[in-house]
Amino acid sequence: MAKDTGSLDLTDQQKTRLLDLALGPPDHPEPANEDEERGDLLHDILRCSLPLRAGSCEGLSAAAMTSCQGLSSVVGPPIGELLPDQGTSVAVLKEIKQYAKTRGSQAASEREKDAFLAIYFAAIAAALVSRDERITEHTDENLTQSFRCYAKTTWMPIHLAGLLAKAAERCPGTAGTGGNRQP
């Protein structure tokens, strides 16, 4: 092993640092950046597929149900691919919206709630931009404000920020009408 470390051309200080990292976390961890944590959490959620609906697993035993849910990642594309895809159906966007709404209401932290709220508004934005359909009862003013707010966050992935910004521009009734139309 000693021969291997000599071939890495590391200084004694670099070797000590590597040993410290291998032995455990630093005594004084850097303070967490909340925006970075929100972004990491959002990216993690976006990499997951929608969970299987209860109806598709009806009649299965508890063990089979657990296996069924464990395979959800192979059932469909990740949420992060579905949202900006022009071919995603409105029904799927409604499912994403409902999933984000449900999970956001059960969130254990503000960061988690923010991440699911971002997905919630991204699903609404995707339906508006790609299908010109409205899948919410929020007022145009509220939607435009939410779309713009999330599009400008530093932790929002670029492709979703663009989708939200485009939806803010296309939101019906916001161009000089006060944006109070309801469906």
Q: Is the pTM of this model over 0.85?
A: no
**In this predicted structure, what is the pLDDT of residue 71?**
53
* Of 13-27, 36-50, 100-114, 165-179, minimum mean pLDDT range: 165-179
Task: Enumerate the β-bridge partners of residue 49.
Answer: 78
Instruction: Answer whether residue 104 is part of any domain.
Output: yes
Question: What is the total count of domains within the chain?
Answer: 1
pLDDT exceeds cutoff 90 at 151: yes
Contact by Cβ (8 Å): 124, 136: yes
Beta carbons within 8 Å of 49's beta carbon, 6+ residues apart: 72, 73, 74, 75, 76, 77, 78, 79
Mean pLDDT of 43-62: 68
DSSP 3-41: HHHHTTT--HHHHHHHHHHHH-S-SSPPPP-HHHHHHHH
Instruction: Answer whether residue 6 is part of any domain.
Output: no
What are the pLDDT digits (tens) for 98-134?
999 999 999 999 999 999 999 999 999 999 999 999 9
Instruction: Answer whether residue 99 is part of any domain.
Output: yes
Instruction: Answer whether residue 120 is part of any domain.
Output: yes
Instruction: Answer whether residue 41 is part of any domain.
Output: no
What are the pLDDT digits (tens) for 71-99?
544 568 999 999 999 999 999 999 999 99
pLDDT exceeds cutoff 80 at 5: no
Domain that holds residue 119: 77-172
Instruction: Answer whether residue 159 is part of any domain.
Output: yes
Task: Enumerate the β-bridge partners of residue 78.
Answer: 49
Report the alpha-carbon distance of residue 90 to residue 95 in Å, rounded.
Answer: 9
Instruction: Answer whether residue 19 is part of any domain.
Output: no
Label residue 17 by pLDDT band (50, 70, 90): confident
Beta carbons within 8 Å of 159's beta carbon, 6+ residues apart: 80, 84
Instruction: Answer whether residue 130 is part of any domain.
Output: yes
